[in-house]
Amino acid sequence: MKIKAEAKKILLEFKKTKKMYILIFMAAALITYILYVLTPVGRINYLLMSKQELEEKINSDFFSAELYIAGMNETMQKMDNIKNVFTAKSLDDIQEAEKVQLLQLWGNFIDYQIALSKLVDDYKYFYQINYFLNKNLHAKAFIIGYSSFLSSYSSGIKFIDYSMGNNVIEKILDDSYPEYGIDKGMYEKLKWNVIHVNDVLRLTAGYRNYLFLKPVYIKNGLNDSALAADLEANYNFSVSKLNDKSLEWFPENTVAIFKKKTFTAWFPVQKNLTYRIGKIRFTSRVKNFITDKQLSGMKKTLQPGDLLVERRNWFTSNVGIPGFWPHAAIYLGNFDEFKKYFDTPEITSYIYESGYSDIEDMLARLNKEFYEKYSKNKFEVIEAKAAGVVLEPLNGSANADYAAALRPKIDKLKKFKALTSAVKHYGKAYDYSFDFITDSTLVCSELVYKSFNPYLDIKLSPYLGKMIFTATDLVKKFDAEYGTPKQELDFVYFLDGQEAEKKAIVGNLDGFKKTWARSKWDFNQQ
């Protein structure tokens, strides 16, 4: 009896223990599920951000959203101006200049679609920002994502409305044009995602949430922002166009489209690319592929006056800039290297004849702010970026995924004149309009153009109504002239990013020459 009672007691304890473990397991499973929903793997986790970090990110992305939506609006307005091209019945009906403009706009359209889709992807998780604790940040995060979605979606609808059904136009747009950042099959992907959307629930549900948050926007002034105005216009356009075109575009009727409960396409562009983009942190990747050690090796080969081209994969700063290479910079060397390199009788005579006592006096009088910063710090590169025309160390400027150096085949005096011309531009603001006519603001390649154009044959090319020169154009010029009597640039160094391996390797001349023809978004390396 005693043994039986003891066995009963053990069994009871086991049942209690088992029940406890089951409850612990269930609690752990519930916590895991909640964490998975609230903090999806591979996405931005707003729950782990401080209020200051949230404010910095949201304010920065709000500015980006305004910039991208304005860029998309401008692209679509220019598309309106060439509507006659979309009525062409054969290739003979399209002039070469019209085709070039169409492809430039198509490349720009893809650029802004990718940038907007990244913002949408980031802000799908706006609900992680507590509405009751951070009402303004919650509302601002939502409007960034939803306005970006509507801009992307409505422009996709508009583009398809222009082009669908015209076999000539569809064939042109679906081809590959690396110089414009266009991969083969992009149009078919766009069309598939726009006209085979399984659900537009997010369109209408998002608008209801926008109306719910509208009192917050009115209170903090966001209701009068460009984002709010564009949101309203793009929502009304999208709903109107879907009602008009749903029977033509979709295999289901309008009512069915609005009643479905899943939405498989946040963005109206490229199904395959959405997955790839979703895995990439456009601006928050901690390390780029090129290492400090690799830059030290590159630095040993550089001379003052060398021209740098750089690229960071998947950075939103690539948006709106045609070609594989989005950034150009000018290598100066540090202050002591600069003085030593240009310490020649010819340059000394030029300095005296220009009314200066020496190199330091000349730099100080040309641009005092530049001289103060350059002479007291270890800066080696002058470049134009968002902060304006600035000085950077090489490992700051070329902290990238790809970097290369080209050397102008001109004498030291001409190099000196080019670099002192660049010095005069130091401190100017960045040129967001890409306008090469004015000198008050400059874009990166504009600094190169205006500094070296007197000594190199650099030609501006038409791009969406403007005459511009890009970093990609510089590489294209090198490739076209290489090995001919017209060659004006020598190859110096190339660090070639390898997206699949997440590293950079030292590339060679043959590998570099054709980089201008690589896809802008480098999908082939995924």
- Closest of 272, 521, 273, 278 to residue 401, by C-alpha: 521
Nearest-angstrom CA–CA distance, 105 and 496? 29
- Closest of 525, 501, 139, 104 to residue 323, by C-alpha: 104
- Residue in the structure block whose two tokens are 């001109």: 410
- Residue in the structure block whose two tokens are 């006056």: 305
**Res. 1 pLDDT band, cuts 50 70 90:** low
User: How far is the CA of 278 from the CAs of 193, 256, 282, 326, 501, in angstroms?
Assistant: 16, 29, 9, 22, 18
The residues, any chain, with a CB within 8 Å of residue 202's CB and separated by 6 or more, are 149, 263, 266
For the chain, report the end-to-end CA distance as a whole number of angstroms: 72
Give SS3 for 389.
strand
Please check whether residue 270 is in contact with residue 186, taking contact to mean a CB–CB distance below 8 angstroms: yes
User: How far is the CA of 330 from the CAs of 261, 443, 448, 449, in angstroms?
Assistant: 54, 13, 7, 11
Nearest-angstrom CA–CA distance, 216 and 224? 12
According to the model, what pLDDT value does residue 187 have?
85
Please report the beta strands in 448-499, taking only residues with DSSP state E, as ranges in sequence order: 461-463, 466-468, 489-498
Question: Which stretch of 121-135, 185-199, 351-365, 438-452 has the lowest confidence by average pLDDT?
Answer: 185-199
Question: Which stretch of 148-152, 163-167, 168-172, 444-448 has the lowest confidence by average pLDDT?
Answer: 163-167
According to the model, what pLDDT value does residue 264 have?
32
Give SS3 for 395.
helix
**Average pLDDT score over the chain:** 83
- pTM value is 0.74
* DSSP 8-state class, residue 279: T
Over residues 274-288, mean pLDDT? 44
Question: Which stretch of 193-197, 253-257, 368-372 has the lowest confidence by average pLDDT?
Answer: 253-257
80-97 per-residue burial string, b: 16 or more CB within 10 A, e: under 16: eeeeebbebeeeeebeee
Higher pLDDT, 200 or 343: 343
Over residues 299-311, mean pLDDT? 98
According to the model, what pLDDT value does residue 418 have?
98
Does residue 269 surpass a pLDDT of 70? Answer: no
Over residues 349-355, mean pLDDT? 97
* Nearest 10 degrees: Cα torsion 459, 460, 461, 467: -170
Higher pLDDT, 327 or 44: 327
Please check whether residue 107 is in contact with residue 182, taking contact to mean a CB–CB distance below 8 angstroms: yes
According to the model, what pLDDT value does residue 17 have?
54
According to the model, what pLDDT value does residue 287 have?
80
Nearest-angstrom CA–CA distance, 384 and 447? 7
Does residue 38 surpass a pLDDT of 50? Answer: no
**Res. 48 pLDDT band, cuts 50 70 90:** confident
Which range has highest mean pLDDT (46-50, 124-128, 147-151)? 147-151
According to the model, what pLDDT value does residue 21 have?
47
**Res. 363 pLDDT band, cuts 50 70 90:** very high
% of the chain beyond a pLDDT of 90? 54
Letter for the amino acid at 464? L
Letter for the amino acid at 166? N
**Res. 261 pLDDT band, cuts 50 70 90:** very low
* Nearest 10 degrees: Cα torsion 24, 29, 35, 36: 170
According to the model, what pLDDT value does residue 500 have?
84
Does residue 267 surpass a pLDDT of 70? Answer: no
According to the model, what pLDDT value does residue 204 have?
82
- Closest of 184, 159, 153, 182 to residue 171, by C-alpha: 184
Letter for the amino acid at 241? K
According to the model, what pLDDT value does residue 318 have?
75
According to the model, what pLDDT value does residue 55 have?
92
Tell me the DSSP string of 486-523.
Answer: T--EEEEEEEEEETTTTEEEE--HHHHHTGGGS-TT-G
**Res. 179 pLDDT band, cuts 50 70 90:** confident
DSSP element (H, E) containing 41: none
pLDDT in tens, 131-158: 998 999 999 999 999 999 999 989 988 9
According to the model, what pLDDT value does residue 111 have?
87
Question: Which stretch of 91-105, 108-122, 142-156, 257-271 has the lowest confidence by average pLDDT?
Answer: 257-271
Higher pLDDT, 503 or 199: 503
Over residues 420-426, mean pLDDT? 98
pLDDT in tens, 198-231: 446 678 888 999 999 999 999 988 888 899 999 9
Residue 14 main-chain phi, psi, to 5 deg: -65, -45
Over residues 352-376, mean pLDDT? 97
pLDDT in tens, 447-470: 999 999 999 999 999 888 889 999
